[in-house]
Amino acid sequence: MSDLPATAHALPASLDFPLPAHRGGEVLRVRASTHEDAVFERFHRAYDRAFVLANEKEGRAGFVECLALNHGDAAAALLARYGPFREWVLVLERDGAVVGGANLLCHLQADAAGRALGVDQNLNYVFVDAGHRGHGHLHDLVAAVRAVARRSFPDALAGADAVPDRVFMEINDPLRVNDADYAADTAATGLDQFDRVAIWARLGARIIDFPYVQPALSAGQAPAHDLLMAVLGVAADDLDACLLQRHLARFFGISVLKGADPHGNLEAAKQLRACATDCASGRHLALLDPLPRLARLRAERERTGVDPARGLRERLRAADP
């Protein structure tokens, strides 16, 4: 839990600002919201076209429920438990058209004295709209997400430019996704699963050597065992297990379980206990670079198909994948 003081009304509820694109001259616009409003509607229409896998896809009601946690009594309870946080939806615009969008949770990591040590994000969903792919806009969306996270806590981060920000994200495991889902998701996004892993890796994301499972997003869904947890923005070759424990508690408790105690959910509690054990022993978790082995593993999947027992993380951590 963070000792940083915060109240729900002290944190921004909407943001609107220009984002210089990474290509010369072009300026995009970021519009972000913590409400079910016009920004949310634009985000959700484009999101609904971009995501197709049932167990990994948040329903409209789930988004609305998550955004409501930013406000009122629910926000007060979560702020007391976790410290300052914000759940956002955003759209990235060029000349008024939606280029892409994202849904993220951001929260502050703080020391015992309440000093900000980091602003962490979970990039729950990110997509480039079909008509705007192939122009580097994923890079722009990551920049937008990081900018939104830093603008979420203006008082705590005032004058703290050196405070790091880390972006956690789920990535499909191309060795565990079944053939039907593999084909459906690739057709919808225009990206092969291995290519997607490579794109994130080239942006700097590394796969955390941790047996991640996404708890069920709703009562009608099942836990997702075909995902990896990755992180962007860590210069070291490993990640403090204590940091992952704090992050997963917030991500599970807010974005996944909609305010419920994650220790009351079987899948979430199991992973938090594992992190707590690693944290108590001072363990750091390896961060795995998939790029050197992707071509070999892609060829192996084409030959042998899915292997639920040995996914990408297991292959990367082995001496001989």
CATH of the domain at 56: 3.40.630.30
Residue 256 located in a structural domain: yes
Residue 125 located in a structural domain: yes
Q: Can you tell me which residue has the tokens 């403090």?
A: 240
Q: Can you tell me which residue has the tokens 């759209």?
A: 91
Residues 6 or more apart whose Cβ sits within 8 Å of residue 14: 31, 32, 33, 34, 35, 37, 39
Residue 272 located in a structural domain: yes
Q: What is the mean pLDDT of residues 274-287?
A: 98
Residue 68 located in a structural domain: yes
Record the tokens describing residue 16, joined without a space: 């609107």
User: Band of the pLDDT at 117, cuts 50, 70, 90?
Assistant: confident
| Residue 180: pLDDT over 50 | yes
Number of domains the chain is built from: 1
| Percent of the residues in the chain that have a pLDDT greater than 90, as a whole number | 71
Distance (Å, rounded) from C-alpha 48 to C-alpha 120? 26
pLDDT at 1: 38
307: Cα within 13 Å, side-chain hemisphere: 15
Lowest mean pLDDT among 80-94, 110-124, 134-148, 270-284: 110-124
Please report the sign of the dihedral spanned by the C-alpha atoms of residue 271, residue 274, residue 280, residue 285.
negative
Q: What is the mean pLDDT of residues 114-119?
A: 77
Residue 1 located in a structural domain: no
What is the tens place of the pLDDT at every residue in 289-299? 999 999 999 99
Residue 146 located in a structural domain: yes
pLDDT at 24: 62
Residue 112 located in a structural domain: yes
| Residue 36: pLDDT over 50 | yes
Whether this model's pTM surpasses 0.85 = yes
User: Band of the pLDDT at 10, cuts 50, 70, 90?
Assistant: confident
Q: Are the CB atoms for 85 and 106 separated by under 8 Å?
A: yes
Please report the sign of the dihedral spanned by the C-alpha atoms of residue 176, residue 181, residue 186, residue 189.
negative
User: What is the secondary structure of 262-310 as a DSSP string?
Assistant: GGGSHHHHHHHHHHHHHHHTT-EEEEE--GGGHHHHHHHHHHH---TTS
| Residue 158: pLDDT over 50 | yes
Domain extent for 42: 10-317
| Percent of the residues in the chain that have a pLDDT greater than 70, as a whole number | 93
Q: Are the CB atoms for 2 and 108 separated by under 8 Å?
A: yes
Residue 219 located in a structural domain: yes
Q: What is the mean pLDDT of residues 260-284?
A: 97
Paired with 207 in beta bridges are 230, 288
Paired with 126 in beta bridges are 102
Comparing 61 with 306, the larger pLDDT belongs to 61
